[in-house]
Amino acid sequence: MSHVKHIHKGSLERFLDLLLIALVVLMTLKGGTSGACAACKYQRRRCAADCPLAPYFPAEQPKLFQNVHRLFGVRSIVKILERLDETQRPEAMKSIIFQSYVRDRSPVHGCLGVTQQLQYMIWLAEEELKAVNAQLQLYRSQNDGQNQQNHNQMMINELGVGVDNKQQQDDVTSQLDLGMGLNVNNNQSNVVAPFFSPLPVSETQQPQMSYTYSCSEVNNNGYSPPAYNTDSGKEIMTNNNNVWGVHNRFLYNDNNGGGFNNQNESCHEMKSNNGVMGIQSQLVNLQMASNHQQQEDEDDPHEYDEIHQFLEIIDDRQSFADSKEAYASSSGETLKEQIDEIGENELRSAATCFSLTSVN
Amino acid sequence: MSNYTNSPCAACKFLRRKCTSDCVFAPYFPPEEPTKFANVHRIFGASNVSKILQEVAPHQREDAVNSLAYEAEARLKDPVYGCVGAISVLQRQVLRLQRELEETNADLMRYASCLGGETTSAYGGRRG
């Protein structure tokens, strides 16, 4: 019996010793009273109470620090933080974490790829807006014209005067059916230009190369992507809003991706800054077009359809650009003469801009 | 690319070391562009850049270097937000344009339906 008691007492002591050792080890690893941050854990060092990186790298998300460490390195981060005020540090770290995250997702292009994608989306939206505004203008003018006609008709009916406006009505209807956009400006030289006509480089992009940029959805690495938001009202780059979460194919301007001056600089200023990136960016996209692994051929028809749709609108516009003017002014000039005046030069220049497609 | 047999690349010049024939930086940091490497080294560090280049396929390295140079320059000009500031501005612009497009499309639909009704009635009145 006493032998059994002795054994039990010995094992209990050993168990307690082990427990004590485990506690000591645990406390050493945790660095005292608080847990080590992801940065110190990664570097396998004690996380001091005044660790500068601890507030930005929680232990639960080690991947965030890994991304930052891979791109910037600890020394660089600490240098950046030391140069900034206390108030600016959280924002700086957020942007650094975001930039590193993007670089992890896209090791070749990083944030430059996102910037270019956004610029393309802006270009697309602007062109679409122009087309819709032109169409709206047409409808408004037609609406005004019809109101005037209705008014005239009423007057005619009341006064009993006959006027033949059948031809005028047909013109209006044919224009509407074709869905074209007319420039209501009576200045004949200021016809509606094709929206892919060469505009000043500083204003917009000239599509030259075909490029597919697609990225798998974020948040598949087992960690939540950083949401970038600042008190100054900048947009949140959330999972749903990530531009790289979709398949995109876009056309790229060789003057795009220019040097960046400051966060408040407008998009146009960015595009007009032809630094080192101006020519290099063109080379970047040449390579991207030919070598990107996720380029999908089935997207080709879609892009072609998109361009073709615009081309159809342009052809219609140019053919009937001044027919409204002829109707409104009753100058006696025939429609054919006006089409000839608009000229083949506009069509040719429009076609050459889109070197990917041919305009027959 | 410059002739590296004659002069060291910008990276080796900056790091004050001999530019060998297998220098990983030489093809992408020509001696005519010293600031490019200086910026990249200042923000990311030469060893990180070297590691990134090693991880990327050879035909994509120039793109990677260009994007790193862009990000480094942006970070130097704006230490707080770097190139992310530009992304934020652009994204706001995209949202604004999308909103404007939605409103304009809605106007268009209104006019189209309105005009369609008036055209019909005008024709009916005229023919009748």
Q: Give Cβ neighbours of residue A206 (< 8 Å, ≥ 6 apart).
A: A198, A199, A253, A254, A255, A353
Three-state secondary-structure class, residue A346: helix
Under an 8 A CB cutoff, do A234 and B94 touch? no
State the pLDDT at residue A212.
36
Q: Is the dihedral of CA A143, A149, A153, A156 positive or negative?
A: positive
Under an 8 A CB cutoff, do A264 and B43 touch? no
Task: Tell me whether residue A340 is exposed, middle or buried, using C-beta atoms within 10 angstroms of its C-beta: 0 to 12, 13 to 18, 19 or more.
Answer: exposed
CB A57 within 8 A of CB A93: no
How many CB pairs lie under 8 A apart between chains A and B? 205
**Nearest CA distance, A203 vs chain B (angstrom):** 14
The beta-carbon neighbor of A267 closest among B48, B81, B89 is B89
HSE-up of residue B40 (Cα within 13 Å, Cβ side): 26
For A148, phi then psi, to 5°, come to -65, -40
- The first and second tokens of residue A19, run together, are 């427990």
Who wins on pLDDT, A2 or B64? B64
Measured distance CA(B67)–CA(B78) in Å, rounded: 16
Q: Does residue B40 form part of some domain? A: yes
State the pLDDT at residue A264.
42
Q: Does residue B126 form part of some domain? A: no
pTM as predicted: 0.53
- Judge if B1 and B42 occupy the same domain: yes
User: pLDDT over 70 for what percent of chain A?
Assistant: 35
- Judge if B93 and B39 occupy the same domain: no
With beta carbons under 8 A apart, name residues in chain B contacting A263. Answer: 78, 80-81, 85-86, 88-89
- Judge if B64 and B86 occupy the same domain: no
State the pLDDT at residue A138.
85
Who wins on pLDDT, A16 or A147? A147
State the pLDDT at residue B61.
95
Highest mean pLDDT among A23-32, A131-140, A172-181, A334-343: A131-140
Q: Which residue shows structure tokens 């080796």?
A: B12
Question: For residue A112, which of B94, B53, B79, B62 has the smallest C-alpha distance?
Answer: B62
Measured distance CA(A25)–CA(A16) in Å, rounded: 14
The beta-carbon neighbor of B66 closest among A126, A140, A281 is A281
Q: Does residue B88 form part of some domain? A: yes
**Nearest CA distance, B80 vs chain A (angstrom):** 4
Q: What chain B residue is nearest to A68 in terms of C-alpha separation? A: B44
- Judge if B61 and B91 occupy the same domain: no
Model pLDDT for residues A226-277, shown as the tens digit of each residue: 545 444 434 434 443 444 443 334 433 334 444 443 444 444 444 444 444 4
State the pLDDT at residue A252.
38
Q: What chain B residue is nearest to A233 in terms of C-alpha separation? A: B88
Region A315-344 average pLDDT: 44
On whether any CB of chain A is under 8 Å from the CB of B66, the answer is yes
- Judge if B7 and B49 occupy the same domain: yes
- Judge if B65 and B21 occupy the same domain: yes
CB B53 within 8 A of CB B27: no
Under an 8 A CB cutoff, do A92 and B78 touch? no
- Judge if B25 and B39 occupy the same domain: yes
User: Is 60 exceeded by the pLDDT of residue A98?
Assistant: yes
Interface of B with A in 13-32 (CB under 8 A): none
Q: Does residue B110 form part of some domain? A: yes
Choose one of B31, B55, B77: the last residue of a domain.
Answer: B77
Q: Which of A49-63, A104-118, B113-127 has the lowest mean pLDDT?
A: B113-127
User: pLDDT over 90 for what percent of chain A?
Assistant: 19
Region A87-94 average pLDDT: 93
User: Is 60 exceeded by the pLDDT of residue A216?
Assistant: no
Question: For residue A74, which of B110, B45, B57 has the smallest C-alpha distance?
Answer: B45
Q: What chain A residue is nearest to B36 in terms of C-alpha separation? A: A276
State the pLDDT at residue A190.
44
**Nearest CA distance, A198 vs chain B (angstrom):** 21
State the pLDDT at residue B58.
93
Average pLDDT, chain A: 61
- Judge if B63 and B109 occupy the same domain: no
Under an 8 A CB cutoff, do B84 and A98 touch? yes
- Judge if B25 and B73 occupy the same domain: yes
The beta-carbon neighbor of A280 closest among B66, B71, B101 is B66
State the pLDDT at residue A8.
54
- Domain hosting residue B32, numbered range: 1-77
Q: Does residue B37 form part of some domain? A: yes
Under an 8 A CB cutoff, do A291 and B59 touch? yes
Long-range contacts: A47-51, Cβ < 8 Å, 24+? none
What total of structural domains would you count in chain B?
2
DSSP state of A227: P
CB A97 within 8 A of CB A226: yes
With beta carbons under 8 A apart, name residues in chain B contacting A275. Answer: 73
- Judge if B66 and B90 occupy the same domain: no
With beta carbons under 8 A apart, name residues in chain B contacting A118. Answer: 87, 90-91, 93-94
**Nearest CA distance, A335 vs chain B (angstrom):** 23
The beta-carbon neighbor of A135 closest among B100, B108, B126 is B108
Choose one of B77, B106, B123: the last residue of a domain.
Answer: B77
User: Is 80 exceeded by the pLDDT of residue A103?
Assistant: yes
Long-range contacts: A176-179, Cβ < 8 Å, 24+? A176/A138, A176/A142, A176/B115, A176/B119, A178/A316, A178/A320, A179/A135, A179/A313, A179/A316
Model pLDDT for residues A197-208, shown as the tens digit of each residue: 333 334 444 434
Per-residue pLDDT band for A154 (boundaries 50, 70, 90) equals confident
User: Is 80 exceeded by the pLDDT of residue A130?
Assistant: yes
- Judge if B41 and B8 occupy the same domain: yes
With beta carbons under 8 A apart, name residues in chain B contacting A91. Answer: 80-81
- The first and second tokens of residue A208, run together, are 């030259």
Q: Does residue B13 form part of some domain? A: yes
Model pLDDT for residues B73-108, shown as the tens digit of each residue: 999 999 999 999 999 999 999 999 999 999 999 988
Q: Does residue B4 form part of some domain? A: yes
Q: Does residue B93 form part of some domain? A: yes
State the pLDDT at residue B47.
93
- Judge if B84 and B41 occupy the same domain: no
Model pLDDT for residues B3-31, shown as the tens digit of each residue: 445 689 999 999 999 999 999 999 999 99
